[in-house]
Each structure stands twice: as structure tokens, then as C-alpha cells.
Amino acid sequence: MVSLTDEELVKRCKAELPGDTRSYEILVQRYISRVYSVVYRVFGNKEEAEDITQEVFIKVYNGLKKFEQQASFSTWIYRIATNCALDSLDKMQRRPKIQIRLFNSKDQHETEQNDLDLHASMEAVPEEMVVRSELRECINNVLKKLDREQARLLLLRDFDDRSYEEIAKVLESGLSAVKMRIHRARLAFQRLFGQMCGSIHLSYSASTSGSSPKVKTKKE
């Protein structure tokens, strides 16, 4: 049964749900990491990522009976996942800010509370983590303002590091068209980022062999 295609599993789900959830569970198994990954990269914390991933799979469960299969299952679920993530960004702004633990790099114990999402590397000092969290918040604000399709493309390519080929496949679009749409999305992102956050200033550290830039933002 594990070797069945997505389409065959969807057909079985339509016949079996709600009584028998075995086919649905295989679809969950197949897609849970991919959905969690893309959602996690927007929010950067486990709790939000779990909640939203659950929301995605509940929507899939509730929608399977009506899912017409005009698009592939993967196209459909990526669309639901990116929509849930982007919708949640809107809701988050209306909620009180979430308190996330901030770890001190020396003793790795919880030392203070910060009102932003901070899961930085062990090497990062608290100031860097605050900058990083502000940067994430700013990036998420830009994502909310972007055209939904452009935000979706950036989530898949630059947040989740999906290849152009994979994105073309999941969005059922031509490869050249996807490449150019992602290019235009990056240009649109930069324009909005400039208006909302300042210019993007990248400095390359000599110790990082030039491939991993240090990112700083500079308010104009």
C-alpha cells in the first residue's frame, strides 16, 4: 500500500474516510516532513510549526472528499501549506506577541525572555539573536505584503531550498516560467524590503570562503 501513488491513495481516501484512515495516514507520512519544513522556516519555532502543520493536515482531511484531482495532490497540499503559513502571519500580528526562550550561548540555560522568536545558533551572542529575530519579523512583514503567489514561490525556493525543477513540478508549471516568476518575486521582495526595513547590506566574511554572507540590514 505504501507503494501506491498519491492519486491512488486520494481515490482510496475518498472511498474509505472517515471510517478507515489507513490511506490518509500514508499521505500524512509521505508529506509531513515537507509541510513541517516549509512552515518551520517561516516561523522558526517548533510550536508554531507543529500547530500549523496540524492545521494543514486537518484541512487536507476535511477537503479530500471534495478534492477533484485536477491538480496533483502535491500541488494541492503545498498550496494549503503555504496559505496556512501566510494566513498565520496575519493572525500573529493581531495576537499578543509570543514569548520564546532566549538561550545564553555560555551556559545554554534559559536566561531571559524576549518577545520575539529566537532560535539562534549556539555561537550567536544575544545581540545577534535580537537582530536576527527583528530581521525575521521584518522579512515576514514583507512576505505578508507581497503578492500571494510571489510569497509562495519565495517560501519554496529561498526559504525551503526547493529546486526550480521541484517547484515547477509541484506547481505544475513550466521550468522557465517558474524561474522567471521567482526572479520577479525576488525583485518585488527587495522593493518592499527597502520600503519597510531598509536596504539589504551583505558583507562577506573572509573566514566563510565567500559562500556564506553575513547579512546586515541598514536603515536608510
Give whole-number Cα distances, 5 to 11, 12, 56, 162, 193, in Å: 10, 11, 20, 21, 41
What count of Cα atoms within 13 Å lies in the side-chain half-sphere of residue 143? 25
Which amino acid is located at 16 in the chain? E
Place of cell 566563510: 208
Q: Which is nearer to other proteins, 1 or 58 (CB)?
A: 58
Does 111 bind other proteins (CB under 8 A)? Our answer is no
Does 215 bind other proteins (CB under 8 A)? Our answer is yes
Q: Which three cell numbers stand for residue 102?
A: 532566549
The number of residues making up the chain comes to 220
Does 172 bind other proteins (CB under 8 A)? Our answer is no
Q: Which of 151, 154, 168, 171 binds other proteins (CB under 8 A)?
A: 154
Stretch that binds other proteins, among 3-11, 67-75, 81-89, 114-122 (CB under 8 A): 114-122
Q: Which is nearer to other proteins, 76 or 156 (CB)?
A: 156
Does 36 bind other proteins (CB under 8 A)? Our answer is yes
Q: Which is nearer to other proteins, 87 or 137 (CB)?
A: 137
Does 12 bind other proteins (CB under 8 A)? Our answer is no
**Cα(201)–Cα(135) distance, integer angstroms:** 12
Does 43 bind other proteins (CB under 8 A)? Our answer is no
- 3-class SS of residue 163: coil
**Cα(202)–Cα(36) distance, integer angstroms:** 29
Does 149 bind other proteins (CB under 8 A)? Our answer is no
Report in angstroms how near the CB of residue 68 gets to other proteins at its nearest.
Answer: 22
- 3-class SS of residue 88: helix
Show Cβ contacts of residue 114 under 8 Å, excluding neighbours closer than 6 positions. Answer: 99, 100, 102, 129, 130, 133
Does 125 bind other proteins (CB under 8 A)? Our answer is no
Query: What does the binding site for other proteins look like in residue numbers (CB under 8 A)?
Result: 18, 21, 24-25, 28-29, 32-33, 36-37, 40-41, 44, 46, 50, 53-54, 57-58, 61, 119-121, 132, 135-136, 139, 154, 158-161, 164, 176, 179-180, 182-183, 186-187, 189-190, 193, 200, 202, 212-215
